[in-house]
Structure 1
Amino acid sequence: MTDALCHLVVDGNEVLEFKLVRSVQDIENDDTSFGPEMCHQVFGENENIFGYTDLHIRLYYSAGSLQTYLGIEYTDKIEPSKSEGMKADDVEGALKKVLAPGFVTNLDHFISLVDKDKSFIPHGRLVHAFTVTPDDGSDRRMFEVYFSEISTPGFLTFHERLQTFLLWYVDAASFIDVDDDQWNFFTVFEKYDSCEGGHRYAVAAYATVYRYYAYPRNLRPRISQVLTLPPFRKLGICAHLIKAIYTHFTVLPEVVDITVEDPSADFQRIRDYVDAKNCETLPAFQPAKLYQGFSQEMANQACSKFKINKKQARRIYEILRLKNTNTSDKTTYLNYRLDVKNRLNAPFQKKKLEMKKLQKVLAPEEFAATVTSSGVSETQGRLCALYAALEHEYRRVIHRMEHD
């Protein structure tokens, strides 16, 4: 591309504007706008859009029902006849592929849909309610969590609009198979006072959970997609969402445990916080027991009471033991670090044993060609780095626990 055309290339993330619109005033209020974290799943790997001058893409959603408005504005667009056949990217075409059917491109039409939101009521069954007092001293806010299934009347049409947010905030996101009735949904709404009297609702967050079969007649629910929309972050909403999921499933006798599909670091931290707060109430996780090391009793109690699997129970033990460890006491702190490092080192030890077995059955030259293992010092370095990163994450969880 020539330098003369470079001004026609823009970063898609910079020209996209989102809003969750509660009233007509929100449309003109810049404070209600927010942007995407990524757009490569819509506009391609480099996230660039070519062919427009002063491009601005507006994606506005009514705050409750998520009726959608798409507005694409620009002052000029490249013409193939004047640019050796070069065409502008088909922005509307790319968005049409991912937006739910029924979006509008007329702003007045959208405003009429926003007005209809006053009669919107969340789909599904109310399973949890909570309030949040923001750190900035503003008024207390009310939230409700609703449980829905594939069969919940009206929910799938709503979900079709809701899931589009995944593309902008969750890497490698994919839309779920709505023909599979094993999917469950938990949606968080802010319940706020309307200036016309009564209450209205605004979507804040949601999670999908898949009910996996576990032999012989059991279930192993797996939390799959979790998203808190940007205007509602830093309010502790995700922790409440996890609690709502736990509350729903822990009372079901057929549930073996609750797992999470490929959790991000941020989600794992919130999950750790919720699990640690829960487990520190259990007898097996009291300080005297923690100093004795991880036990089957801990695994059993965590699973029985909160449906936490053994791997996560071990992680929670490490967090709570660190929380109760006097790091000024060199011996106590050393014992803790060795305990965690022994667990982290287990895969390296397993690999070492596998290599020894391989050495016995391969000719020397074949074994030499196969070996890619690093030296002892490099393995130790990796182990130390792994531990340091883990303790840093644990301390973030502990800090939140101590400042609730």
Structure 2
Amino acid sequence: MADKKLCEDNELVASCEDEEMMTYKKSSLNVVSFRIVREENDLEIPTKKSNSFKPDMAHQIFGESEMIFGYRQLSIGLYYLHNSAKCYVDVQFSDQIPESDLCKADDIMKALNPWLPENYRVERDDFKKDIREENHTTIFGEVIDTFEVENSNFKITICDMKNADFKEFHQRFETFIVWYIDGANFIDLEDSRWTIFYVYEEYSNPNTNKKYCSPVAFCTVYKFYLYPNSIRPRISQFFVLPTHQKRGIGTNLYSTVFKHLKALPDAEDITVEEPTPVFQKLRDFCDSLYIYRDLEENKINISTQNHKQINAYLRKHKICKRQAQRVFDILECLTTHKNGYREYVKFTESIKARIASEVDKESRGSKRLCNLERTGIMTEPIDKKASVNAEFNKYIDSLERPVSRLRSHLAKIEANK
């Protein structure tokens, strides 16, 4: 009985110790917050709720678990000046775990340091001095487009990569991406093949009439050499501040970048580096709308053209082969929706047949599979039907979303005529 009681006591102690340790573990996504600062009072209470936001990811900073160990009531505030992107880091906690041979608190600043703007502040008074010295209306680059969203004016610029002040600014602003783009890396600004576009918001304080101009988005493009005398522009990074997402800013930025790259006489086609699902949806909508308008203007009926003609037409607009197929499918899907159920079924059947052919090609005559079979290693049989159905359902779903947005957009235009 005594042994049993001792065992229970030990389990209770271990349980309490585990619970105690858990109070020192924090999810970085919960304790890290960003705030855009225009004036000193933004340090205390945000003038707008939209000035503050949380990160989407932190595994590059704090490891795969994204956990921070060793602190109670931890908060990490990353304050960025609205125009210059100068930064202040404010780490607060109520208690730190005593250091021992068995446990040690994580070094937060060591983890953050590689991903923060150079010369970031850790003293509030130093940052307040930066606020007082901030130039609120600086814009880098040549303005190539303007647009209005929700009564706010925006300018899109193409930046001068030789401008040292711009490079310093971009190195500060691009530090946001590690928290929002998986596997993000900072680009080499000494490589002249990079082109960077920025979106600036013009804002006027209704109480003081003071004017502000703030960078809210950027896009980087790398111009790959294409033999013998062409280039292949590739969109690499595409970032919109969380405070400005879902307002059409990304759509306007992509459309402007696409038109600029399309106009380059030596550009063969425009590609994107590993597009995220969110970016692919934006790209599908913009490319499809652009081509739809051009087809309408030139009175071309997509349904009467064969794939070869359509692909040649899309390549003329410098849309790369894979994206050209998607744009064709989106517009064909839009057309068959208008023409009735039977036409839509015929369209989906053609898509399924194409996917079945692709799956068959991939599984038939694979050199690797043949080599394995020759050595006597049996491979798992491929369920082609299940594979085709899965790919088909996934692809049709990916088409329906831009089709729905395109249809809604065109309906609004028609209603406003």
1:276 to 253, 274, 288: 288
Contact 2:81 2:131 in 1 (8 A): yes
Alignment of structure 1 residues 324-339 onto 2, 5 Å: 324-326=335-337, 329-339=340-350
8 Å CA contact retained: 2:355, 2:388: no
Aligned to 1:60: 79
Match among 158, 162, 180 for residue 191 of structure 2: 180
Alignment partners' CA distance in 2, 1:118 and 1:308 = 40
TM-score of the pair, normalised by structure 2: 0.86
Structure 1 position 328, deviation (Å): 7.8
Alignment of 1:93-242 (within 5 A): 93-133=110-150, 140-194=151-205, 197=209, 199-242=211-254
Q: Which residue of 1 aligns with 2:25?
A: 9
1:380, 1:371 → 2: CA distance?
19
Counterpart of 2:394? 386
In the alignment, is the contact (CA less than 8 A) between 1:53 and 1:74 conserved in 2?
yes
CA, structure 1 residues 100+334, in 2 after alignment: closer, same or farther (shift >3 Å)?
same
Say which is worse superposed, 326-335 or 337-346, in terms of deviation.
Answer: 326-335
Alignment partner of 1:27 out of 29, 43, 46: 43
Q: TM-score, normalised by structure 1?
A: 0.89
Deviates more, 1:142-151 or 1:343-352: 343-352
* C-alpha separation in 1, matches of 2:89 and 2:368: 60
Structure 1 residue 41, shift from structure 2 partner = 0.8
Q: Quick one: distance in 2 between partners of 1:188 and 1:362?
A: 53
Q: Which of 366, 374, 377 does residue 366 from structure 1 map onto?
A: 374
CA distance in 1, matches of 2:318, 2:132: 43
Q: Distance in 1 between matches of 2:277 and 2:368?
A: 35
Give the CA deviation at 1:197.
Answer: 4.5
On the 8 A contact 2:194/2:223 being kept in 1, the answer is yes
Alignment-derived partner of residue 272 in structure 2: 260
- Note the aligned Cα RMSD (angstroms): 2.6
Paired residue total = 392
Q: Is the 8 A contact 2:136 2:213 kept in 1?
A: no
Deviation for aligned residue 1:396? 4.2
CA distance in 2, matches of 1:62, 1:371: 58
Say whether the 8 Å CA contact 2:29–2:55 is kept in structure 1. Answer: yes
Cα distance, 1:337 vs structure 2: 0.4
Shift of 1:285: 9.6
* Structure 1 counterpart of 2:103: 86
- In the alignment, what sits opposite 1:314? 325
With over 3 angstroms needed to count, the CA separation of the structure-2 counterparts of 1:367 and 1:381, relative to structure 1, is farther
> C-alpha displacement at 1:21, in angstroms?
1.0
Task: Give 1:121 deviation, angstroms.
Answer: 1.0
| Structure with larger Rg | 2
- The 1:384–1:274 alpha-carbon spacing in structure 2 relative to 1, beyond 3 Å, is closer
Q: Which amino acid aligns with 2:307?
A: S
1:263 deviation in Å?
0.3
Query: One-letter code of the match for 1:126?
Result: V
8 Å Cα contact 2:137-2:214 kept in structure 1: no
Mark the runs of 5 or more structure 2 residues left unpaired by the alignment. 1-16, 413-417
For residue 221 of structure 2, give the secondary structure of its aligned residue in structure 1: strand
TM-fit CA distance, 1:122:
1.6
* Conservation of the 8 A alpha-carbon contact between 1:65 and 1:158: yes
Against the structure 1 CA distance between its residues 400 and 257, is the aligned structure 2 distance closer, same or farther, given a 3 Å change threshold? farther
| C-alpha contact (below 8 Å) 1:186/1:206 kept by paired residues | yes
